[in-house]
Amino acid sequence: MPLKASYNDYLTCPMCDVEVPLSGDERPGEQVFCPYCQTPLALRRTKTDEYYLEEDY
């Protein structure tokens, strides 16, 4: 399920705490990169439909 329009267009990088911009077309499990530290991140969703990023090495 893509990100809902009601969610922020940004999520926080777990490595450097910078806001990572998202287009809204991303799906859970997709890889995105932090624009500051270039860490590969995976988009995840909790059971309560909250989105977050985690390191994806």
Question: What CA–CA distance (Å, rounded) separates 39 from 57?
Answer: 8
Question: What CA–CA distance (Å, rounded) separates 31 from 41?
Answer: 5
Q: What is the mean pLDDT of residues 22-33?
A: 91
- Place 8 in a pLDDT band, splitting at 50, 70 and 90: low
- Place 5 in a pLDDT band, splitting at 50, 70 and 90: very low
Q: Domain boundaries in the chain?
A: 10-55
| The predicted structure's pLDDT at residue 6 | 39
Q: What is the mean pLDDT of residues 33-49?
A: 94
The amino acid at residue 30 is E
What is the SS3 assignment for 43? Answer: strand
- Answering whether pTM is above 0.85, one says no
Q: Which CATH architecture has domain 10-55?
A: Single Sheet (2.20)
Least confident of 3-7, 16-20, 26-30: 3-7
